[in-house]
Amino acid sequence: MTEVITAADVSAVDISGKARDILSRLGAGDPFVADGELVCTSPIDGSELGRLRADTAADVEAVVGRAQAAFLQWRTVPAPVRGQLVRELGELLREHKDDLGALVSIEAGKIVSEGLGEVQEMIDICDLAVGLSRQLHGLTIATERPGHRMMEQWLPLGVVGVISAFNFPVAVWSWNTALALVCGDAVVWKPSEKTLLTAIACQALLRQAAERVGAPVDVSQVLLGAAEVGGALVDDPRVPLISATGSTRMGKQVAPRVAARLGRTLLELGGNNAAIVAPSADLDLAVRGIVFSAVGTAGQRCTSLRRVIVHESIHDDLLARLQAAYATLPIGSPLEPGTLVGPLIDAAATTAFTAAVARATADGGTLVAGGDVADGVAGGQYVRPAIIDMPQQTDIVKAETFAPLLYVLAYRDLDEALELHNEVAQGLSSSIFTLNVREAETFMSAVGSDCGIANVNIGPSGAEIGGAFGGEKETGGGRESGSDAWRAYMRRTTNTVNYSSELPLAQGVEFG
């Protein structure tokens, strides 16, 4: 059995020592260097976990070169055989789930259950990718020419650059990597500077998987460093696809740089996800769904619920129930069993949270729960999740604040609710709580939610990996994870084969 920190002992626990033990059990050895430029910290108590050496732009050159060389070899391996590498990664993740989940908790501040859930999400995408490795199929298409056959094939693309955020430090890498690997690509990963240890751990596991199945270990690489390292990756013409997850601000920097070299991007950026609560809603269920989506991961999911749009007839009732639920939320160390709200990632997140609360109340909002700094573990950033009842949807409501901050807006009819719903720049996830089939279907229809994800009677967060994940508008338009998202990691060729002895031309053209 691996040792799991359940941390009744959290105040006494040597978090740094635990992280080191976990890294060693995951096969990452001791990656720390005393004079490293990169400082790894835990949001639980702000303590330093160790220092790492930063890669430079010159390292990017070499790393992409190694990945490119590995790709040239990997693309010749049959896809179902490539699937065995991902199957092995999934096995290692199962074996080390507790340890990797605990490391996610230590480095990203997630509660134990959510750290484990994130690793489960990795296992799930590995399973999906292994199946896909036998299903990367194209079409056979009817041709207008006799004695001809037309088909399309999906072929490996090249080196995929993955840029990921702190809040899902390992799952988002795995969504991209599991698919990219079965598609025959190599991956170069630039993780968030806030979650480097989990990246090192994933890389160590993948290396072990590659060694076990005899795959080229260089198909997966990690770059540690600041924005200039990511920038060098983004600008590298040997990287045909950049898959970037993070803020809309980051995406607006990345997209034009990749476009300038006519590369492809897969963007999964900010959300400002809402739940419409209709008069017929099952309010008990709605309250549970709302609280999980608004408060889970301390409001630091791109899918977190940030706006409730509730019918005026049940506004007061819902607000009272939410207030009651928020009053009992256990806030504290994410390692402590029973905690539901862990820390924010850093001091800047607390500043953004309190500034947004101040702005919203200045705009006429009424603070009905939380909104201030909470007791937690000394050195960490703990806040009390806020609910603000808003008279209208002002600019601060339309902005994504990455913290547990929920705005409540009242509506009179569904048209107004949908207008409020779609009035924001982001378009990731959405939901409606209703028992009325007309409302539910309208919400999911062309005139309903404009988001990439539209749910009924569940909140906007917590998607399974089987569906395509991503959103529209300023969320960036990309789709990751399930369904046919794999196609983004491949190139399509259309093949026309003439098996006749004639040379008929398309469109009836006569030539000589």
Q: Are 308 and 275 within 8 A, CB to CB? A: yes
The only residue of 112, 157, 234, 302 in contact with ligand UN1, by rule CB under 6 A = 302
The only residue of 168, 189, 353, 407 in contact with ligand UN1, by rule CB under 6 A = 168
Q: Which helix (H) or strand (E) holds 228?
A: helix 227-235
If one asks whether residue 162 binds ligand UN1 (CB under 6 A), the answer comes out as no
Decide if 302 is catalytic: yes
37 backbone dihedrals φ, ψ, rounded to 5°: -80, -25
Q: In the complex, what is the shortest distance from the CB of residue 463 to ligand UN1, in angstroms, rounded to a whole number?
A: 3
Catalytic residue of the set 107, 268, 439, 474: 268
Stretch that binds ligand UN1, among 139-147, 389-397, 435-443, 458-466 (CB under 6 A): 458-466
The only residue of 84, 221, 455, 461 in contact with ligand UN1, by rule CB under 6 A = 461
| Distance of alpha carbon 102 from alpha carbon 334, whole angstroms | 10
| Chain residue at closest Cβ approach to ligand UN1 | 463
Pair of tokens at residue 387:
């609910």
Biggest alpha carbon distance in the chain? 88
Q: In the complex, what is the shortest distance from the CB of residue 483 to ligand UN1, in angstroms, rounded to a whole number?
A: 14
Q: In the complex, what is the shortest distance from the CB of residue 167 to ligand UN1, in angstroms, rounded to a whole number?
A: 5
Beta strands in 75-190 (DSSP E): 140-141, 148-156, 159-163, 186-190
If one asks whether residue 343 binds ligand UN1 (CB under 6 A), the answer comes out as no
Pair of tokens at residue 479:
């789709």
Q: In the complex, what is the shortest distance from the CB of residue 158 to ligand UN1, in angstroms, rounded to a whole number?
A: 25
Question: Could you tell me the CA-to-CA distances from 122 to 19, 101, 186, 461, 494 in Å, in that order?
Answer: 20, 11, 18, 17, 33
- Angle of helix 79-95 versus helix 171-182 axis, rounded to 10: 150
Q: Are 66 and 234 within 8 A, CB to CB? A: no
If one asks whether residue 290 binds ligand UN1 (CB under 6 A), the answer comes out as no
The only residue of 303, 350, 449, 455 in contact with ligand UN1, by rule CB under 6 A = 303
Q: Which helix (H) or strand (E) holds 274?
A: strand 273-277
Pair of tokens at residue 423:
């009035």
Window 52 to 111, contacts with ligand UN1 (CB under 6 A): none
Q: How many angstroms separate the first and last alpha carbons of the chain?
A: 77
How many residues in the chain?
A: 512
The only residue of 462, 470, 471, 476 in contact with ligand UN1, by rule CB under 6 A = 462
Query: What 3-state DSSP class applies to 500?
Result: coil
Q: In the complex, what is the shortest distance from the CB of residue 255 to ligand UN1, in angstroms, rounded to a whole number?
A: 17
Q: In the complex, what is the shortest distance from the CB of residue 113 to ligand UN1, in angstroms, rounded to a whole number?
A: 14
Which of 288, 346, 292 is CA-nearest to residue 462?
292
Closer to ligand UN1 by CB, 172 or 233: give it: 172
If one asks whether residue 463 binds ligand UN1 (CB under 6 A), the answer comes out as yes
Decide if 126 is catalytic: no
Query: Per-residue x/- mask for ligand UN1, residues 221 to 250, rule CB under 6 A?
Result: ------------------------x-----
If one asks whether residue 167 binds ligand UN1 (CB under 6 A), the answer comes out as yes
- Active-site amino acid positions: 268, 302
Using CB under 6 A, list all residues that contact ligand UN1: 121, 167-168, 172, 245, 301-303, 461-463
